[in-house]
Homo-oligomer: A and B are copies of this chain.
Amino acid sequence: MEKKNYTSQDVAEVAGVSQSTVSRVFAGNTNVSEKKRKKILAAAEKLGYKPNAHARSLITRKTMMIGIVMRNIRNPFYSAVLEIFHNRLSALGYHLIFINSENEEIQESEVTQLLEYNIEGVIITDALLSSSASEKFKRYGIVVVLFNRYTEHLESSAVFCDNYLAAKQIATYLVETGHQSFAFVSGPSDTSTTIDRLKGFKEVLKERGIKNFMIEPGNYTFESGFKAAQELITRNKNIDCIFCGNDIIALGVMDAIRTIGLRIPEDVSVVGFDNIRMSEWPSYSLTTWEQPLEEMVDTTVELLVNEIGDTTAKPQIVMMKGHLVVRNTVRSRK
């Protein structure tokens, strides 16, 4: 069985028309008579013809490909992000090239390869974007949109939750429910999410004159949360609430606290961030901050598509709010 890749020329010959007309049919051009259109479609069907996307993109300069760069796909928050991005973008006819940057920064070679494929845009979620990589994208006219993070010195659009405000509200909530001794388990200290969440949290504590505050570094994983909590409790038995950089950390923190023999929320309150699905599992029932995921993705896609279509469009920064989801890991201590 010979597997030939038939071309529009082959179809043209079978249908008895010119290659141009075949091309018109498959490009959705309307200027083709119904009679020939049918003939062409029949011939194409018979041969099993399909247009060649690469040849097409060579001329149209459109590839309909979007790169999506993630750092930690194992974090359920990002699994969800990927799923939703795929939904939205595939509905628009775009294809997703998936990149997982294990290392701190996107690999130079990955950037180069994405460039060679002439992707039309790239979504950077969480991965640290070295400015050289970003510049490279920009230099080649590839639209960059940052998701869930931003960097001040880059001229890229960005969509993220107002982490600063969220952290302030969480801190306020914890203060007003009578907590005395605070801890924060952070993510990597060089990410904007961590920086802003910490800043907001700290600020409220300072305003309220609270001095009992410990910070323990984590890296947005369960294990790091687990270790951080052990460390915190060991160092200070009086901690009565822990704000976690994200939900996965919070789950680790909770398991550590329980392993030690303390109760949540009776002994220690825990608050997470993201509202991943697991946070509502009965074993955890975590009070957390919900990021408006779908809206964030929708906005990101909107910006992306808009900038792809209009190269003069200015980069935009969109900050969304989200809200506290109260479950059972915070107890009033008044």
> Which residues from B are CB-within-8-Å of A255?
281-283
* Distance from A101 Cβ to chain B, minimum over Cβ atoms (Å): 10
Q: Is A79 an interface residue (CB 8 A)?
A: yes
CA distance A93 to B254 in the complex (A): 41
CB of A276, distance to nearest CB on chain B (Å)? 10
**B74 and A140: CB pair below 8 A?**
no
In the assembled complex, how far is the CB of residue A257 from the closest CB belonging to chain B, in whole angstroms? Answer: 10
- Residues of A in contact (CB 8 Å), total 55
Stretch of A35-43, A81-89, A324-332 that contacts chain B: A81-89
**Complex contact B74–A87 (CB within 8 A):** no
A248 to chain B, nearest CB (A): 10
Check: A90 CB closer than 8 A to any chain B CB.
yes
Contacts of A257-314 to chain B: CB distance below 8 A: 258-259, 277-278, 281-284
In angstroms, Cα B116 to Cα A222, docked, is 41
Could you say which of B53, B87, B97 contacts A95, with CB atoms under 8 Å apart? B97
- Is the beta-carbon distance between B86 and A79 smaller than 8 angstroms? no
A68-109 Cβ-contact flags toward B at 8 Å (1 or 0): 100001101001101100110010010111111010000000
Please, which residue of chain B has its CB at the minimum distance from the CB of A78? Answer: B79
A83 near B74 with CB under 8 A, answer: yes
Residues on A facing B (Cβ under 8 Å): 3, 5, 48, 50-55, 57-58, 63, 68, 73-74, 76, 79-80, 82-83, 86-87, 90, 93, 95-100, 102, 110, 112-113, 115-118, 139-141, 222, 251-252, 254-256, 258-259, 277-278, 281-284
**A54 pairs with B58, CB closer than 8 A:** yes
Does the CB pair B118–A98 fall under 8 Å? no
Q: Is the CB of A73 within 8 A of B82?
A: yes
Q: Which residues of B contact A95 (CB under 8 A)?
A: 97, 113, 117
Residues of B with C-beta under 8 A to A79: 73-74, 76, 79
